[in-house]
Structure 1
């Protein structure tokens, strides 16, 4: 059994977790986007240097996000506008993970979608038909313009037997004007009306991690996950069998780490502190 972890407030000092992290080779990195690389569209200091270190290392990497509004092409453009250059092929969204899941479960199926372009495009590309007539699934994603009419239609279709899927359970999301209701909050409304809970594909479901790994033919035992939330990124990484790095530049504060019954492998203030780790761990491969 590992020695008791140190006080999370000392996360900037080397500890046993840091020493244990690279004992197995590191071939792949997964990293969250919001709170790790950017706040909304404001870059977090060190984010571009972190991405450059990953590219320089020659190791595989993917940027993950529960945001289902945008396509990978859209997100690449938004990140580039923030000075962070991530290839489109290295972006994996909850919309893509949901489309992959549905394709694996019921190829060539149909869905009624409450969401935006990122989700509808992913489902179209997976061979799904969008319909409001007897669909196989109701698929709920994030949108900034939830329609009462669309939600009502979703409720009635679920009552009529459509299976209920949601891209992620996040109850709220950030905006420049404050908190916004997100997929999880609307899913709760539909669940209350129908008595049917959705299957969530995105984080903290480890399925999203595994689908990202499959996308780049990577293995959990040689992969590190970087995230800013203990209750989504870190728990999903742990349950997928990954080593995990928590950065406290986003949702989880340093003083909150010790309140959880699980710990990340490494805790750092931001991705700026990970540039050296990427280079160091890459040299150990």
Structure 2
């Protein structure tokens, strides 16, 4: 079935790269997909960067992209907040880049516990300060304040291992306030649907690739697409055996996936 794939939806952190370092085989794979008439999309729950930021990050790796190829949890949050909270004030626990992206979609954001706030939106915030958490909790102890998170990931890959992600931040707030957040990003299928809407392909032509079962793989399954996991991030063979989220394909690295796809396609042409 890999020989039928044309549209590849890649997670980034732990799948294609870690920090500022690309994994071996990533650039070759991405270039090969585009050269053979395919299309790459990047579906990340990392809400610290805007789509513009990612275009610049990939350019530093020598990879040319455009904003439409990136479906981030922050972008999905912008669309969701615009649809459901337009004209209402939202307290945001997030990076300056995330706040800027929300404002560009005409979302009224604040970092203060103001009286007219109707919602608390938490993202993966590497600028997190304790006073931000205090303000978020103060708001959520009020009646009628909604609680949303960009993504449920508990940890994010780092060069030395992992760091707390949005899900871990939200869990801390939930344990304090008793309020459970609604998550906008993966495994919510909306991010995959936004990519698929740009193509005219059949479901068999799509492959969702990631390193985390409960977000990346679950998102692809929820959207009805085949999935592939790589063991360079959070998931490992034992987790695949015990998880309810079963990928269609498993590979040690992104290079291994690249070699498998290329081999099947080349054999199919003979």
TM-score, structure 1 normalization: 0.81
State the shift of 1:53 in Å.
1.5
**Residue 170 of structure 1 corresponds to which residue in structure 2?**
153
Tell whether the 8 Å contact from 1:51 to 1:85 is kept in structure 2 after alignment: no
Q: Which consecutive unaligned segments of at least 5 residues does structure 2 have? A: none
> Quick one: distance in 2 between partners of 1:278 and 1:76?
26
1:51-110 deviation line (CA, Å, top 9, x unaligned): 102211323321111111111222233333344444333122110011112223233433
Residue 159, structure 1, aligned to residue 138, structure 2: no
**Residue 269 of structure 1 corresponds to which residue in structure 2?**
252
**Residue 225 of structure 2 corresponds to which residue in structure 1?**
242
Structure 2 vs 1, CA of residues 112 and 26 (structure 1 numbering), >3 Å: closer, same or farther? same
> Quick one: distance in 1 between partners of 2:263 and 2:77?
33
TM-score, structure 2 normalization: 0.85
Structure 2 vs 1, CA of residues 111 and 247 (structure 1 numbering), >3 Å: closer, same or farther? same
Tell whether the 8 Å contact from 2:123 to 2:150 is kept in structure 1 after alignment: yes
Tell whether the 8 Å contact from 2:157 to 2:234 is kept in structure 1 after alignment: no
> Quick one: distance in 1 between partners of 2:215 and 2:186?
5
Q: Which consecutive unaligned segments of at least 5 residues does structure 1 have? A: 1-19
Q: Secondary structure at the match of 2:196?
A: helix
1:125-167 deviation line (CA, Å, top 9, x unaligned): 2211113432232110112231222211112222222211111
> Quick one: distance in 2 between partners of 1:36 and 1:262?
17
> Quick one: distance in 2 between partners of 1:126 and 1:208?
17
Q: Secondary structure at the match of 1:136?
A: strand
**Residue 85 of structure 2 corresponds to which residue in structure 1?**
106
State the shift of 1:231 in Å.
2.3
Residue 199, structure 1, aligned to residue 182, structure 2: yes
Greater mean alpha carbon deviation, residues 47-56 or residues 158-167: 158-167
> Quick one: distance in 2 between partners of 1:207 and 1:278?
29
Residue 121, structure 1, aligned to residue 103, structure 2: no
**Residue 143 of structure 1 corresponds to which residue in structure 2?**
125
1:186-223 deviation line (CA, Å, top 9, x unaligned): 21121122221110111222233223333x24567242
> Quick one: distance in 2 between partners of 1:41 and 1:220?
34
Greater mean alpha carbon deviation, residues 116-125 or residues 175-184: 175-184
Q: Secondary structure at the match of 1:174?
A: strand
Residue 186, structure 1, aligned to residue 186, structure 2: no
